[in-house]
Structure 1
């Protein structure tokens, strides 16, 4: 049977696993795979495992309990090894990298921030800032514009929206990044112009959340800020 891997910790982590439930139905008992310097928290992998709420919550519960007691490298849901022996081999092979990352993550949590801007508000800003966009908008709305004018307007607006979003994302990351140890920026989707994760010292989470709220308030109702956390630092493993 394959080995399901929840997390990696240092060998001195207290590993209080009593009362925690693993994935599967019935829940798989947790155990450890150890080397001299590292420990992996694992269980048997139930056949046909899928991301059901019960199992996702069990995985998350193990991570939260481990993180509360010390530095932990959280594994994403569904990570499997062929068996305990292979997991131990990987721990040994990657020991320097794992130990370095554990030191970096010690005492930190992750926050994810997604930011977007109302489409109509962004369009008004583009027209206010681009004379060419205003000219093309006027002729197309007045009915005298050609097909090429409409295409040119669409391309210009798309370019300006993307450029403005990138600049605003950079400004927000620079501002909030001052309160974080590390930042990683992911691909955006939908109406968002920013999707960033911040590695924040656990002792400074209140100040970070306040900084996010202050920036959201400063930008006003045309902007939407969605902050999720504290989370296990998946984005920095």
Structure 2
């Protein structure tokens, strides 16, 4: 095989070989976990397997993936390839969702990579207390998404019955623009008030709330401008009340459109709460 060369003609860096360990998430061991993991295929079609911590109280879900794709340098290049990234994301979330359907799982960030299983065990041992607290907090709850959209653009200002005497075309134009601006501000103000009522209704049935950046451009779906994009951690036995409360407030306002999605694994709540410490994950090979 020809040795890779750099632009200056000197030998280039040797491509990484072998496997590294891809980490999906952390779970507490339970009777059904082994059965679920046994049949799972994850990133790059690799089998998913459990790695237990030394104390046996936590399980890390991992796969062996090729270093040639997942070492730091090739991984950074792959992150520019949207099709590759989408395939990895789908496989990652597929594993998390399958495990979450049978028990509590703490998802880690996409493309969390460790050199080998020993490094994974070191990580889980160092952060055991934080992981254990977070899993206990997530136990029995699921994530729901609530997006609030401005229902529609405000209607243009109504034309005046007759122009005021002496009002020039330029002044008439400026007055019309002023009325349109006021109408838009009123529309946003009403939508913002309705969005706050949605948040209050949802929060009454949730144990935690995360506010994401509103979606814009290609990420935005459906009609209307996305003005809030929130996630709620909701106990499973309160999900019906959660949905009914949000839908009731949404129906009371014509200024907004509300989209409810879920239930999901608690992706938005994987980070520790304000009273927790410890590193959550690493996005580069360790």
Residue 179 of structure 1: aligned partner:
205
Could you tell me how far apart the structure 2 residues matched to 1:213 and 1:118 are? Answer: 15
**Other structure's SS at 1:184 match:** strand
Residue 64 of structure 2: aligned partner:
44
Could you report, residue by residue, the CA deviation over 1:31-72 in whole angstroms, capped at 9, with x for unpaired residues? 22221122101001244363234x434322321222233221
Aligned length: 220
Residue 19 of structure 1: aligned partner:
39
Could you tell me how far apart the structure 1 residues matched to 2:39 and 2:262 are? Answer: 24
Q: What's the offset of the Cα at 1:207?
A: 2.4
TM-score scaled by length of structure 2:
0.65
Pairwise mapping of residues 158-173 of structure 1 onto structure 2 (< 5 A)?
A: 165-173=191-199
Distance 1:183 1:104, change over 3 A: same
Q: What's the offset of the Cα at 1:165?
A: 4.8
Contact 2:22–2:111 under 8 Å retained in 1: yes
**68-77 vs 196-205, greater mean Cα deviation:** 68-77
Could you tell me how far apart the structure 1 residues matched to 2:244 and 2:168 are? Answer: 43
**Other structure's SS at 1:76 match:** strand
Distance 1:165 1:82, change over 3 A: farther
TM-score scaled by length of structure 1:
0.77
Q: What's the offset of the Cα at 1:75?
A: 2.0
Contact 2:191–2:256 under 8 Å retained in 1: no
Could you report, residue by residue, the CA deviation over 1:99-143 in whole angstroms, capped at 9, with x for unpaired residues? 00000000111011111113434x78xx8xxxxxxxxxx9x9963
1:106 to 2:126 alignment: no
**Other structure's SS at 2:85 match:** coil
Contact 1:7–1:75 under 8 Å retained in 2: yes
Residue 95 of structure 1: aligned partner:
128
Contact 1:13–1:70 under 8 Å retained in 2: no
Distance 1:100 1:112, change over 3 A: same
**Other structure's SS at 1:97 match:** helix
Could you tell me how far apart the structure 2 residues matched to 1:150 and 1:80 are? Answer: 58
Gap regions ≥5 residues in structure 2 = 1-18, 70-77, 79-83, 158-163, 217-224, 271-286
Q: What's the offset of the Cα at 1:160?
A: 6.3
Larger Rg over CA atoms: 2
**85-94 vs 151-160, greater mean Cα deviation:** 151-160
**Other structure's SS at 1:32 match:** strand
